[in-house]
Structure 1
Amino acid sequence: MPTNPPKLSMFQVLACGAAIVTLSMGIRHGFGLWLQPITQEMGWTRQSFALAIAIQNLSWGIIGIFAGMAADRFGAFRVLMGGAVLYGLGLAGMALSPTPTVFALTAGVLIGAAQAGTTYAVIYGVLGRQIAPERRSWAMGVAAAAGSFGQFLMVPVEGWLIAGLGWQQALLALALMVLLIIPLAFGLREPGFHGSAPMKRDQSIAQALGEAFRYPSFLLLTAGYFVCGFQVVFIGVHLPSYLRDHGLSPQVASYALALIGLFNVFGTYIAGTLGQRIPKRNILAFIYFARAVVIAVFLLVPLSPLSVYVFSAVMGALWLSTVPPTNATIAQIFGVQHLSMLGGFVFFSHQVGSFMGVWLGGYLYDRTGSYDVVWYIAIGLGIFAGLVNLPIKEAPIQRAAPQPA
């Protein structure tokens, strides 16, 4: 096996990677549209639905670490294939679940595992290995923008499917649609990963993990990403119900989620592009501080369709714009050999935050009849995340000598 295998074309990597992220992220962004149809027809509490989505995020985070290890060692292609199959099975199981427990296993564990194998950690590993460092942050911004476009594209489609087919048949239709990831994965078969032997490593997994967890900037980046997960998943899942509770129509919620996706296309692309020019820690701190301000203003002004759309547009520009600078910082500090795995560990923190945001939203709503406390927590966490990102050091880590595998 060659030590330096040939590279895939940048267009091929970006086109296939972006299309996969569009499908995988686009579908998951619309899950909040199913909260009321499922809970009302099945007679479940909102907490039951929220707990399943919370488990999904936690499953995604935990399994994402191992999916990242497998992608770094054996290539993304195999991981993507398995993830696509699990995604189809999970969506079908979500449609046919008779009890909250089965729903938690399918919508939660199974779809979480599928997302671990079909989203950013795996795709960004390919980008890191296949695209030159001077264009890496930009390329990650393009891939994140594709995921945002998927939200803009898929959320209205999912709303239309629910209205036209009913919530169960809509999920089965998505189960077939997500299998399009399988042919797209063939475009990400990296040279050097086709055989059964893994790529040669200068660092073992244990050495890479020990180095990362002893490095304070990695821990600060991880802490900030917890907040990102808390905020975006709470808003993505509970905003539709929050708006309905205040008398706004379901169409307002669908348009709001679509606007988040549309403006996130621009936000993620700009964040990735700026990451090539200015310190990424400053980009991240600005995003988190700005989220806190935007949420506070949203709660202070009178609620109307216009205020919802303005909030969605501004929040959309800040939505996944943390993803390119976060992953580019990991690559810049530690290199790309274990990028998917290290990105998976940081993303695990994001998913713990996601679990807390979506579950706490359902739990406190059922206890208090309001989402107000969770909105206030989201504001405080935004200020915290902005502060912890400011001292991050982005320079490549200094190693005394290459470490044996």
Structure 2
Amino acid sequence: MRATEALVIHGGREIRQGSVIVMLSKREEFKRGWTVVLASAVGAGTGVSALTFYTLGAFMEPLSQDMGWSRAQISAAPLFMTAASLIMGPVAGWLADKHGARPVAIFSQIMFVLAVAGLALTTEQIWTFYAGFFLLAFVGAGTIPITWTRAITGWFSSARGLALGFALMGTGVMGMIAPSLATTMIDEFGWRMAYVGLAAVPLIIGLPLAIVFFRDPPKAVTNPAQGAAGDEWGMTLGETVRTRLFWQMAAGFFIAAMGVGAILVHSVPLLQEHGLDRGTAAQVAGLFGLSVTVGRIFTGYLLDRMFGPTVAMVMFIAPALACVVMLVAGNNVLICALAIMIFGLAAGAEFDIAAYFVSRYFGRKNYGAIYGLLYTIFVVGSAVTPPMAGKVFDLYQTYDPALMAGIAIFLVAAVLCGTLGPYPKETYQP
């Protein structure tokens, strides 16, 4: 085959023969890349973002009884996960850019399994529990959405939004099943062996699927007259952080994360304030995980068909309305459930939109590093408001002031993300 007739495949998106480019349809993209989506969904669901975070509540009572720790002390463990993510999130993204997402994800999954099992060795010294959570987030940084979404954005273009939605829905599914799974294992085997059992989930399911199905997109084979082989368009991290666009985007996601983080942590006591007993409140709060899953797929579908900032504005205005609904809900279980589901939709939308925006506005060449920084900013935002919401309740014995603040928070996020402007035209750099 002559050079001018070389077949070009760019990230599963387009085929170039000579000077002719044939864009793959959504159906063709999924036919080529559905196994990558499957491995990504399971990998994200059995990774550090979901497995340990969603199960912490199930461990609170047994840890408190066995170790004598307060629930406030146990609840501080995610702060150490956040600290580790601050360090390793951007590093994991940089490594994925340099060496590919596949080796980073697989190595990190192996280390994450060992770290989760290691929580069984926790002593009565609370610092050992905190150190365990710091370690699992540190070595498990390659299991957060950075690596999985980097591969997805390479394999998909016309169906990128929906593919991201399916890939990230794993965290929502884990949010629905992990608490019950952890509770069952604790009741049967005790909390120490329950952590060993949780470690078996990524070992038996997530890791094998990643080894077999998770692949980086093939590099382009280009016409020599058109430039270097395998070039991808994209800004460097340094160029990105010098733009107003990035910091407007980062501010929007930081502020949105503030609202979602507070609602997620305080959903059960918030519902109890509205007259629901603890059991009913927990069941209604469980709808959060379901709606996160739906929100990811629905948002991905919209991103493929609508202008991204418009989707972001709609998805962030929705939780502002949910705050209003909670303020007037009284003791109506159905209305409270509706509000919780709307909050979940917004939580499900955020990672989808962030991943999509990075790939569209800044390109894929340094996607991991840029998304890693944005993800870190998001994590910090979600961590700062839960203690603030708790303080509001301690002062006023109601969450109403926090809900009022939430209305403003989500509306500001909607404006910031909804006014980002048009995407730059993706080009191959000569």
Aligned equivalents of 2:179 and 2:171: distance in 1? 12
Does the C-alpha gap of structure 1 residues 247 and 6 become closer, same or farther in structure 2, counting only changes over 3 Å?
closer
Does the C-alpha gap of structure 1 residues 280 and 4 become closer, same or farther in structure 2, counting only changes over 3 Å?
closer
Pairing of 1:378-397 with structure 2 (within 5 A) = 378-396=406-424
Paired residue type of 1:210: G
Contact 1:39 1:46 in 2 (8 A): yes
Does the C-alpha gap of structure 1 residues 175 and 117 become closer, same or farther in structure 2, counting only changes over 3 Å?
same
Query: Match of 2:348, SS?
Result: coil
Query: Match of 1:139, SS?
Result: helix
How far off its partner does 1:385 sit?
0.8
Contact 1:223 1:388 in 2 (8 A): yes
How far off its partner does 1:348 sit?
1.0
- Which whole-Å deviations, capped at 9, do the CAs of 1:239-287 have from their partners, x for residues lacking one? 3355567775554354234311222222211111111221211211222
How far off its partner does 1:61 sit?
4.0
In structure 2, what is the equivalent of residue 292 of structure 1? 320
Paired residue type of 2:132: T
How far off its partner does 1:121 sit?
1.1
Match of 1:14 among 37, 43, 46: 37
The alignment's TM-score, normalised by the length of structure 1, stands at 0.84
In structure 2, what is the equivalent of residue 101 of structure 1? 127
How far off its partner does 1:314 sit?
2.4
Query: Match of 1:340, SS?
Result: helix
In structure 1, what is the equivalent of residue 360 of structure 2? 332
Does the C-alpha gap of structure 1 residues 21 and 319 become closer, same or farther in structure 2, counting only changes over 3 Å?
same
In structure 2, what is the equivalent of residue 147 of structure 1? 171
Higher alpha-carbon deviation: 348-357 or 235-244? 235-244
Paired residue type of 2:75: A
In structure 2, what is the equivalent of residue 356 of structure 1? 384
Contact 1:51 1:359 in 2 (8 A): no
What are the ranges of 5 or more consecutive residues in structure 2 without an aligned counterpart? Answer: 1-6, 13-30, 220-228
Higher alpha-carbon deviation: 31-40 or 117-126? 31-40
Does the C-alpha gap of structure 1 residues 231 and 91 become closer, same or farther in structure 2, counting only changes over 3 Å?
farther
Does the C-alpha gap of structure 1 residues 202 and 294 become closer, same or farther in structure 2, counting only changes over 3 Å?
closer
Aligned equivalents of 2:101 and 2:271: distance in 1? 39
Aligned equivalents of 1:378 and 1:144: distance in 2? 25
Q: CA RMSD in A?
A: 3.2
Does the C-alpha gap of structure 1 residues 110 and 359 become closer, same or farther in structure 2, counting only changes over 3 Å?
farther
Aligned equivalents of 2:56 and 2:74: distance in 1? 10
Larger relative contact order (Cα-Cα within 8 Å, sequence gap ≥ 6): 1
Aligned residues: 392
In structure 2, what is the equivalent of residue 196 of structure 1? none
Contact 2:151 2:217 in 1 (8 A): no
Pairing of 1:78-93 with structure 2 (within 5 A) = 78-93=103-118
In structure 2, what is the equivalent of residue 134 of structure 1? 158
Does the C-alpha gap of structure 1 residues 237 and 93 become closer, same or farther in structure 2, counting only changes over 3 Å?
farther
Does the C-alpha gap of structure 1 residues 170 and 312 become closer, same or farther in structure 2, counting only changes over 3 Å?
farther
Aligned equivalents of 2:424 and 2:238: distance in 1? 16
- Which whole-Å deviations, capped at 9, do the CAs of 1:183-222 have from their partners, x for residues lacking one? 12212133669xxxxx966689xx6112211222221111
Aligned equivalents of 2:210 and 2:167: distance in 1? 15
Aligned equivalents of 2:415 and 2:150: distance in 1? 28
- Which whole-Å deviations, capped at 9, do the CAs of 1:285-306 have from their partners, x for residues lacking one? 2222221221232243224654
In structure 2, what is the equivalent of residue 48 of structure 1? 73
Identity among equivalent positions (%) equals 22
Does the C-alpha gap of structure 1 residues 394 and 138 become closer, same or farther in structure 2, counting only changes over 3 Å?
farther
